[in-house]
Amino acid sequence: MTATIDYGNLMHRAMRGLIEEVLNGVKVNGLPGDHHFFITFDTMHPDVEIADWLSDRFPNEMTVVIQHWFADLDVTHEGFTITLNFGDNPETLYIPYDSIQTFVDPSVEFGLRFESQSEEETSENAPEAPMDEMVEPEEPAAEERHAAEVVSLDQFRK
């Protein structure tokens, strides 16, 4: 048995489970109301599957938007597959949850940011390792949207 509880990994699993549950709801019922998602992921993750031209254009990270047009959404415990339109060119992507860096739904000012493995490893010996936190949605040309407030999990610690 380990000497400490690994809260960081427990939080990662819980938040990725939340993303899985949300995407399963979208798969069954579609996107309700004004909901839409900005998902930034690590294109270098070994399990990411994207077209070569996308990986050439986005060699480190990529943000996809799930909003008006998407197809073939398939959700598993490890990740999801989705077909998105890139300039009238549909492409199928597989995005494992472990590759996700941010998940944002600007319509309700909700967002999650995941610390990368290297950040976790370097902060492993710190007195308090940084936790995953809520993030401010960033949406291009969204003057009509309200800015979201960043909520850090640290503020709820005692």
Residues 69-109 pLDDT 10s = 899 999 999 999 999 998 888 999 999 999 999 999 998 99
Give the span between the Cα atoms of 106 and 98, in whole angstroms. Answer: 22
Question: Which of 111, 104, 103 lies closest to 152, judged by CA?
Answer: 111
Task: Give the pLDDT of residue 114.
Answer: 87
Phi, psi (degrees; rounded to nearest 5) at 75: -115, 130
Task: Give the pLDDT of residue 1.
Answer: 61
Task: Give the pLDDT of residue 60.
Answer: 93
Task: Give the pLDDT of residue 8.
Answer: 85
Cβ contacts of 15 within 8 Å, gap of 6 or more:
112, 114, 132
Write down all domains in the chain, each with its CATH number in brackets.
Answer: 1-109 (2.30.30.220)
Q: b/e map of 108-123 (b: 16 or more CB within 10 Å)?
A: ebbbbbbbeeeeeeee
- Which residues, given as ranges, of the chain have pLDDT below 70? 1-2, 116-158
Q: Token match 């494992």: residue? A: 96
